[in-house]
Amino acid sequence: MFAVVTRWLGLLVVGYAAGRLYGVYSVRRDDGSDDRSYGTYRLLAVVGITTLLVLAFSGLVDATETALAAVHPVLTGGLAEPLAWVPTAAGTIVAVLVAYLGVFPYARARRDVDIGAATATARLARYLAAIAIFCLAALAPVTALLGASEPSPWLTPVLFAGLVVGVYAWTQYSVVLSQEISEPTGEQRRRLETTADRADLTATIAGVFPGEETETARLYLQGPFWNRRLYAADYAIDALDDDELTALCARAAAADDRRLVERRSIVVAVLLGLFLTLVVWTSVLVALAGLLVAWPLLSRHLQRCEFAADREAARAVGADTLASAYETTTDPTDGRGRLHEQLASTPATARRLDRLRNSRSERV
C-alpha cells in the first residue's frame, strides 16, 4: 500500500507540473482562438487515464477488495465489487483536479475570465464525482454478467433497459451538477417568461447560472418530457436582445419537440450497452470494433436532429436572428478537429452558422 500511495503522490506532482507547463505554453502560443481549451481537456484526460491505470495495476483494487472482505463476507464479489473501485476513482479525480489547478491560472489569464480557482475546481469536482458514481453503478451489472459462468441471453435487454434509465436519469441533472444554479431575479424571470411565451416554449423556468466569465449565452433543457425545466446563462439574458433571446427559446422548443434529450440518452445507452454486451459474449476487440462502427453513425443521427431543430427555429424567428444569437457566445467547439467533430453528438457552432447562412441564401 505504501508503494501505491507513493506512486499516486508522484502522479499528483507530475500532473500539477504538466498543468503549469502547458499553461505557460498556451499563454505564449495564444493566437486569440479557443483551440487551447481543448488542449486543456486533453491534458486532463491523459492525467485521469494514466492515474486510473497506474492505481488499478498497482493493486489498489485488489487491496480494497481484501479490506472489504475482511469487514463482512457480503462485500466480496458480485454487485459489491464496484465498491472496490471507489478509492481508485477518488484518487483519479483528485489527480485531475490537481492538474487543473496547475493549468487554471494560465487558462483564466488567456481567456480573460473572472472566476476563482476554488469555484472552478468545485464545479469540476462535482461533475467528475457524478460521472464516477454513474460509472460505478454501471459496473455492477457488468461484473455480475462477467462473473456468471453461463450468462442468460435475456440479461441483454435488461442491461439495455437499465442503461437507458440510468443515462436518462443522469442527464436530468448534468446542468445542476456542473453549475451554480440560482433563482432568477424578477427582471430575468420576466424576460425569460415573455420570450418563452413568444416562442411557445412550455418548459418551467428553473434557474440561471453564471455565464459572464465564459461568455456563455445558452439555454439548456433538462428534466423528463412531462416536466421540462429551462436553465439559462445569465450572460444570455444580459447580452441578447428580446428577439435573440426569443430565437434561443424557439430553438429550445424545437429541440423539445424532437425529443433531443431522450435521443441523446438512448444513443449513449445503446453505445454503452453494445460495448458491454459484446465484451461479455465475445471479446474486447470485437466490442471496440462494434463501437467504432456504431459511434459515428449514431453521432451523425444526433447532429442531423440538431440541424433540423435549427431549421425549425429559423423558420419561426428568422435565420438572421438565430445566427446573431449563436454568434454572441464564445464556443470552444469551433476548435475541434475533424475526427472530434464527426464523433461529437452536437455540431460545432461554426457548422450551425454555415447551415443557417446556406438556408438563407437558398430562400433568397
Of 118, 148, 178, the residue at which a domain comes to its end is: 148
Closest CA to 106 of 117, 96, 98, 97: 117
Contact predicate 280/142, CB 8 Å? yes
- Tell me, yes or no, whether 153 lies in a domain: no
The DSSP 8-state label assigned to residue 182 in this structure reads: B
Q: What amino acid is encoded at 97 in this protein?
A: L
The DSSP 8-state label assigned to residue 209 in this structure reads: E
Give, to the nearest 10 degrees, the angle between helix 60-71 and helix 86-111.
130
Contact predicate 329/247, CB 8 Å? no
The DSSP 8-state label assigned to residue 216 in this structure reads: -
- Tell me, yes or no, whether 162 lies in a domain: no
Note down the domain range covering 264: 186-363
The pLDDT score that the predictor gives to residue 179 is 75
- Tell me, yes or no, whether 166 lies in a domain: no
The pLDDT score that the predictor gives to residue 36 is 47
> Same domain, yes or no, for 202 and 315?
yes
> Same domain, yes or no, for 210 and 334?
yes
> Same domain, yes or no, for 143 and 192?
no
Query: Domains in the chain: how many in total?
Result: 2
The pLDDT score that the predictor gives to residue 19 is 85
> Same domain, yes or no, for 135 and 195?
no
Does the predicted model carry a pTM greater than 0.75? Answer: no
Of 119, 148, 177, the residue at which a domain comes to its end is: 148
Closest CA to 55 of 20, 17, 94: 94
- Tell me, yes or no, whether 346 lies in a domain: yes
> Same domain, yes or no, for 190 and 128?
no
Residue count of the chain: 364
> Same domain, yes or no, for 123 and 209?
no
Low-confidence ranges of the chain (pLDDT < 50): 34-36, 364
Looking at the chain, the number of H-run helices and the number of E-run strands are 15, 3
The pLDDT score that the predictor gives to residue 28 is 72
Contact predicate 87/8, CB 8 Å? no
> Same domain, yes or no, for 123 and 221?
no
- Tell me, yes or no, whether 154 lies in a domain: no
Q: Give Cα 87 distance to the centre of its chain.
A: 23
Strands 204-209 and 229-233, bridge-based pairing: parallel
> Same domain, yes or no, for 44 and 93?
yes
Closest CA to 18 of 60, 46, 53, 58: 46
> Same domain, yes or no, for 118 and 243?
no
The pLDDT score that the predictor gives to residue 131 is 79
As given in the structure block, the three cell numbers for residue 298 are 449514431
> Same domain, yes or no, for 126 and 201?
no
Q: Give Cα 342 distance to the centre of its chain.
A: 16
> Same domain, yes or no, for 196 and 317?
yes
